[in-house]
Amino acid sequence: MDSPPLSKASNPDAASDLFHTAIWCILGAFVFDFLDGRLARLGGHESPFGREFDSLADIVSFGLAPALMVYRVVLQEFPRACWIIAFVYLACGALRLARFNSAAAKHDGPNHQNTFTGFPIPAAAGLIASITLFLLWLAEGEHRLGNWRFVLPPLLLFLSFMMFSRFQYPSFKAIDWKTTKSIPRFLIISVVLVITAMNYEWMPAVLFLAYLLYGVLRPWLSRDWRREIEEEIGEEPSEPAEQAR
What does pLDDT average to over the chain? 77
Please count the residues of the chain.
245
pLDDT tops 50 at residue 40: yes
Rg over alpha carbons for the chain, rounded to the nearest Å, is: 20
Q: Which of 59, 91, 100, 215 is closest to 156 using CA atoms?
A: 91
CA dihedral 220, 127, 133, 78 (to 10 degrees): 110
pLDDT band at residue 192 using 50, 70 and 90 as cut-offs: confident
pLDDT over 70 percentage in the chain: 67
pLDDT tops 80 at residue 237: no
Over residues 71-115, the pLDDT tens digits come to: 888 876 777 888 899 999 999 999 988 888 777 666 644 444 577
**CA angle at residue 210 from 30 to 190, to 5 degrees?**
65
All domains in the chain, ordered by first residue: 12-243 (1.20.120)
Q: Which pTM was predicted?
A: 0.78
Cβ contact 41:69 at 8 Å? no
Higher per-residue pLDDT: 232 or 211: 211
pLDDT band at residue 244 using 50, 70 and 90 as cut-offs: very low
Q: Which are the contacts of 23, defined by CB distance < 8 A and separation ≥ 6?
A: 69, 129, 130, 132, 133, 136
pLDDT band at residue 211 using 50, 70 and 90 as cut-offs: very high
pLDDT tops 80 at residue 164: yes
Cβ contact 156:84 at 8 Å? no
Q: What is the predicted pLDDT for the residue at 172?
A: 67
